[in-house]
Amino acid sequence: MPRAFFREWPTLALLVAAAAMWMLLIGNYSGLSPWIVCPLAAIVVTLQSSLQHEVLHGHPTRNPAVNEALVYCSLALFIPYRRFKSLHLRHHNNDRLTDPYDDPETFYLAWADWKKLPAGLQFVLTMNNTLLGRLLLGPLVSMIGFLGAEMRMIAAGDKAVMRAWLHHLVGAVPVVCYMTLVGGMPVWLYLLCVSYPAMSLLMLRTYAEHRAHENAEARSIIVEFCPIFSLLFLNNNLHVVHHAHPRAAWYELPKMYRSAKEDWHRRNEGYVFSSYLQLARSYLFKVKEPVPHPLKRRSADEAASS
């Protein structure tokens, strides 16, 4: 085996640990209380989602097929890995980061699109820009938008999207079979009390990950002290470092940050929080930024022609 494969043992160890913990929890669902299984399983699913992010960036091997096989069975069940990979790699165009039309992971809307929305939907999206709203509403808002876009592409005959969903469904079969036949856990309960909370945990990370700013490097956050969340999010709290070095492994990011801490603060122009607690104190009930992008005012037609 290539030496690099063994060098990435931390990622391999977490991949094995996440799968084992999930099987242990779900397999013992009938003998344990749902109040124990569901929150712990949600944490494990969050970790696997973070590992999928690591995998799509080329870890633990340089073989995409091998990497995909390691996360082929998506425990979250909501988003196909191949769609996540395709959209996320587009998101890594730092020059277009947060752009309502060019960044597929942005929560901003263009002004022209915002003005067309009914007042009720504007209210929901505004509440979604508070941290509490993002944790409670964010997964639902994101999934409605994502699934709507996916269905439109499938209806238009996009074969890559169709293949991604087919692979996702094939990978979901053993997850659902193990859940129902071995663990005796209802699928609806898993989706509602495991997958949805797992997405909420991820929303904590993504809530303030990026901001609208003229300087591309100043668009990505640094959240410093969070030992539990650093592991759960695989150090993506140091997000400006990840965007500057997207091929660096998760366990390399802290050293890269510590070795040039002041420089990173300068590069992202002080977009730094000491912890997620500080972030919550600032924005739990407060809208962090407006939904319409404050810098990008072009229309969909202008975006298509650029």
Q: What is the mean pLDDT of the segment spanning 96-112?
A: 94
282 SS3 class: helix
The string of pLDDT tens digits covering residues 192-202 is 999 999 999 99
**pLDDT value at residue 260:** 96
Look up residue 222 and give its DSSP letter.
E
Higher pLDDT, 287 or 1: 287
pLDDT at 123 over 90: yes
The pLDDT value given to residue 299: 55
Buried b vs exposed e over 274-306: b needs ≥16 C-beta within 10 Å? Answer: eebeebbeebeeeeebebbbeebebeeeeeeee
pLDDT of residue 3: 55
% of the chain residues with pLDDT over 70: 95
Q: Is there a cis peptide before residue 118, judged by omega within 30 degrees of 0?
A: no
SS3 153: helix
pLDDT in tens, 212-233: 999 999 999 999 988 899 999 9
Predicted local confidence at residue 5, as pLDDT: 56
Convert the pLDDT of each residue in 3-49 to its tens digit: 555 689 999 999 999 999 999 999 999 999 999 999 999 999 999 99
Longest dimension (CA), the chain: 59
As a whole number, mean pLDDT of residues 281-289 equals 96
**Band of pLDDT at residue 67, cut at 50, 70 and 90:** very high
Cα–Cα distance list, 304 to 52, 150, 293 (Å):
31, 19, 17
Phi (first) and psi of residue 36, to 5 degrees? -95, -50
Given a contact cutoff of 8 angstroms between Cβ atoms, the answer to whether 248 and 242 are in contact is yes
Closest CA to 204 of 23, 43, 8: 43
pLDDT at 10: 96
Confirm whether pTM is higher than 0.85: yes
The pLDDT value given to residue 7: 82
Predicted pLDDT at 71: 97
Closest CA to 84 of 45, 33, 50, 125: 50
pLDDT of residue 12: 96
pLDDT of 1 above 60 = no
What is the predicted pLDDT for the residue at 295?
Answer: 87
Secondary structure tally for the chain: helices H, strands E: 17, 2
296: confidence class by pLDDT, cuts 50, 70, 90: confident
Q: What is the pLDDT averaged over residues 126-141?
A: 97
> Which of 126-135, 264-273, 288-297 is predicted with the least confidence, judged by mean pLDDT?
288-297
pLDDT for 139 equals 97
